[in-house]
Structure 1
Amino acid sequence: MDLLTASAADLLAATDAQWEAALGVALTERLTLLRRLSGRWHPDHCIDSQAAAVFARIQRQRRRVSGGSRMLAPDRRATEARPVFESTATADGRRWTMPYLATYASELGAVYIGQRSLLEVVPLNMADLAERSVAQTSRWTFASAGMEEQIRPCLPAPATVHRTADAVLVVRPRDPALVRLADVMAHVGTVPPEHVAWIGSGLWNLACYLEYAQRAHPAIDASTVWIDTVRHRVALLGGWAYAGRIDERWAALPGNTLADVTPAWRGDPVQRSALGHIRIRRLLRALLGDATGMGPITARAPAAWVTFARSPAAGSAIDQYRSWKKVVETTFGPPRFATWDLSTSTIYPEN
């Protein structure tokens, strides 16, 4: 059976075995063929009365090919057939467009992941927060060239801004090796401890830099953190509209951070590094399989790591980084590189 020329009736009647035989052997070729089929049968532009049913069958087959257990992060929206974002008109009548691989919702609107771009779409009534995000990431200071070489790839690139009739578009370059941690967690379920180790170290390393730079970031979570699974790099690309100089008053906080704000902090609503440290420990608990801090943990999660993640965020970022490194080395010994066979195209098979 030729899938590209088959009728809707033939595609719906074909068994899974017939689909498997028609798709071929190589994974890359199979995904490419399924993408082409998705584009042809997408119900938004295919007029065939059975388009929706065929499209659903294609997506079921794609899930079989890419892994039946694959899940989307709760905030992520499914995308198919090489979608393209198109804005409303700008002041000069032009429209801003960008092909994207995946999209997810945020409290400030929506984020689109392009092959080499990251696009935030913020409604006009929150334009001040879009501008704050741009301002917070426009300039970084480093103590040395070595610090800059290590930390700069872990921070957002400067943004360009486009204002349309109904939104502010914040556009940044994106390293295609980086994937959003929320999408990784949704795909793999529980992250193996050997990879929680370097992700945790990367998070505390970023916390140390933020304290050096006198910056606070209260929105550190799986949706704002991105990772490079090949080079073991951790980047903090999102949530910068909520960040600020330490002791500066909050401009805003995301809803999921409010649970970590103590009554005393509500009475003195200023940026503090401790809130970011609490968020890191909460994220570590989630990575270890215990998002609440009280629930059961997986057998593979080292008990000392769980105790660390459940403990109060006390001390400086450097103190907590050292404590984390100590519990990791207690389990695994001296640092060593753990290969993770998890590519960007696995997380975003729409590519």
Structure 2
Amino acid sequence: MFTVNEILTMKEPGDLFSDSKRIKEEYHKLTKYWHPDFNFNSKESQDVMAKVNELYFKGLDLIKNGSWKADGFIRLSGKDNKVYELKYNISHDFELGTMYIGNTVVLYLLDENNKDLYENAVKIIDNFTYADLGMKEEVSKYLPKIIGKFETKDNKLGIVIQKTSDLFLLNDVLDYFDGNIPEKHAAWILSSLYNLVCYLDYAKLSHNSISLKNYFVSPKCHSGALLGGWWYAVPQGEKMLGVTEETYSIMPPKVKNTKAGDISTDLESIRLIGRELLGDKNGTNLNSKIFIPIPMINWVRGVSSSKAVEDYENWMKCLYDSFGERKFTIMNLNDTQLYEKVKKF
């Protein structure tokens, strides 16, 4: 039997009920134990019974569509009559649906009214271009690879992206560091982003949603992968399909006027990420953080050149002015440490 606090903090039917086949039997047992009529109408029994009912009816809705959810587990039934199951470490809602982050995959589950953005992401990802096999071998490690697509019986759109086990969502990493990543780690993260944006400029793409919630980083390798947000990507010069409020807030005026894909949006997004990693999204109070080198502060508070290679080269100079010769700084962080902490938020 679960405690009161355990029940009240549950989020999914599978956290309370052992499986979809026994949910009604277990619900009746819980009702007999917790119903207010049998507990002198206490506030505690009312709260628990409300949570039990919430999870029960949520469970019935899932069962109706051949699905099931528990903490760290999701089962979905596709319109192709296949069953899709995933054990995941953490899930996050985002503006188009929900992402589930496993060890070697990320599942993005979108609402059906976002089908145009879903199809756009698939088209962009399936058509990355490279100068040669050498570039493909190197750059593709930092780009998404689709290993599955499906539509659920309750009209959700699923897209499964491959990832390596050492990659963690940057927003989770920032939460782990309580909203303030050490400046030397922020530096290599920004370097990995500038490398990637140079590729986007080569490929004549504008991602339009580079953010903490779409970028994954590897503390082990000091690298990153832009796995999410491709819903909004377009060829440079073509009309945007939409952007998030965050992206719109940093878009250069010319892009707001033309509403066309432009690499300057991605370059400005990197500077925003830099400010966020250093603990000051607006950048107004960075000067008070005496441990951050002045050149780095000036960089993240500055304006991009609108040219990816130029920004990359200037960033390399900023790095040297900030820290001198480059040295590998170990970030001691593994999946157990990360998820034990951030799942409590």
Query: Which band: TM-score by shorter chain?
Result: 0.7 to 0.9
Q: CA deviation at 1:278?
A: 0.6
Unaligned 5+ runs, structure 1: 1-6, 13-38, 54-79
Q: CA deviation at 1:159?
A: 4.1
CA deviation vs aligned residue, 1:175-208 (integer Å, no higher than 9, x gap)? 1110000000001121111211211110111111
> What is the root-mean-square deviation in Å for CA atoms of aligned residues?
2.8
What is the letter of the counterpart of residue 114 of structure 1? Answer: G
What is the letter of the counterpart of residue 169 of structure 1? Answer: G
Match of 1:99? 87
Change (3 A) 1:143 1:263: closer
Task: Answer 1 or 2: higher relative contact order, Cα 8 Å, separation at least 6.
Answer: 1
Match of 1:285? 275
Q: CA deviation at 1:344?
A: 2.1
Q: CA deviation at 1:150?
A: 2.7
Q: What SS does the corresponding residue of 2:238 show, helix, strand or coil?
A: coil
Match of 2:139? 151
- 1:1-351 equivalence runs, <5 A: 42-45=15-18, 83-87=72-76, 89-164=77-152, 165-189=154-178, 190-296=180-286, 297-349=288-340
What is the letter of the counterpart of residue 193 of structure 2? Answer: L
Structure 2 CA distance for aligned equivalents of residues 8 and 83 of structure 1 = 18
Unaligned 5+ runs, structure 2: 6-11, 19-25, 35-43, 45-68
Q: What SS does the corresponding residue of 1:348 show, helix, strand or coil?
A: helix
Q: What SS does the corresponding residue of 1:349 show, helix, strand or coil?
A: helix
Q: CA deviation at 1:294?
A: 1.7
Total equivalences in the alignment: 289
Q: CA deviation at 1:154?
A: 0.7
What is the letter of the counterpart of residue 283 of structure 2? Answer: G
Structure 2 CA distance for aligned equivalents of residues 152 and 280 of structure 1 = 20
Q: Percent identity?
A: 26
Native 8 Å contact 1:134 1:159 kept in 2: no
Change (3 A) 1:8 1:251: closer
Native 8 Å contact 1:117 1:173 kept in 2: yes
Q: What SS does the corresponding residue of 2:137 show, helix, strand or coil?
A: helix
Q: What SS does the corresponding residue of 1:250 show, helix, strand or coil?
A: coil
What is the letter of the counterpart of residue 194 of structure 1? Answer: K
Native 8 Å contact 1:221 1:283 kept in 2: yes
Native 8 Å contact 1:248 1:270 kept in 2: yes
Native 8 Å contact 2:142 2:226 kept in 1: yes
Query: Which TM-score applies when normalising by structure 2?
Result: 0.76
Query: Which TM-score applies when normalising by structure 1?
Result: 0.75
Q: CA deviation at 1:262?
A: 4.5
Structure 1 CA distance for aligned equivalents of residues 115 and 15 of structure 2 = 34
Q: What SS does the corresponding residue of 2:250 show, helix, strand or coil?
A: coil
Structure 2 CA distance for aligned equivalents of residues 211 and 155 of structure 1 = 14
Native 8 Å contact 2:75 2:84 kept in 1: yes
Native 8 Å contact 1:216 1:272 kept in 2: yes
